[in-house]
Chain A
Amino acid sequence: GENVEQHPSTLSVQEGDSAVIKCTYSDSASNYFPWYKQELGKRPQLIIDIRSNVGEKKDQRIAVTLNKTAKHFSLHITETQPEDSAVYFCAASGGGGSYIPTFGRGTSLIVHP
């Protein structure tokens, strides 16, 4: 089955800096890569996703890049703000005929004012 590795486990930045979270996946057939944000005490929510037919997708201050050859994808947050502080989870699905996402371990992002 699919295996998703996520790094770093914790990321601390100053407000205004950029943050990058990286994930690798094992199944080359995976074709859908969502990112979820979980604020403290709240539910995980989808913030951005990318499918395998594109290499990059942007939505305001967040962007995701995908390198299918290397089987890795990354989340980029620019001009970080304190409200970006949360746990971020990457996921991959579509491999082996399964549409059920396999998640990474999560990255706790702390943005210091």
Chain B
Amino acid sequence: EAGVTQFPSHSVIEKGQTVTLRCDPISGHDNLYWYRRVMGKEIKFLLHFVKESKQDESGMPNNRFLAERTGGTYSTLKVQPAELEDSGVYFCASSPGLNTGELFFGEGSRLTVL
């Protein structure tokens, strides 16, 4: 079974540019989460989808971040325009249910904003 896949693995952009990260969850997992880890800090929650609906986006930093999950399959996270503080590793995770315990993570997309 394929795991959670994320693309790109690493992106280097300049301040003011736009970047779109993509996540393909495990097939059949209704729950999809985005997290971000800034160097040396916690893995911080950004938002949660159930199928195509945003259930909780309380962790989204500001309106420069836009997440979508069209059709309840893959998800994209767009940062526009990117700022220096947006640098970090963006993790996507999925789970079959909401209270089933384990989150299945992707390998992360490292974003560097110069």
Contacts and interface: CB of A to CB of B under 8 A. Distances in A.
A45 B105 contact: yes
SS of A interface (majority)? loop
Given A43-B107, A43-B108, A100-B56, A34 B42 contact: no
Interface in A1-42: 4, 6, 9, 32, 34, 36, 41-42
Given A43-B3, A43-B106, A100-B48, A9 B101 contact: no
Interface residues of A, number: 24
Given A43-B3, A43-B4, 6 more contacts: A43-B106, A44-B105, A46-B101, A101-B103, A103-B35, A103-B42
SS of B interface (majority)? loop
A49 B101 contact: yes
A102 interface: yes
B63 interface: no
A33 B37 CA distance: 19
Contacts of A94: 99
Contacts of A6: 42
Nearest to A9: B40
Contacts of A45: 105
Contacts of B44: 103
Interface string B91-104: 10000001101110
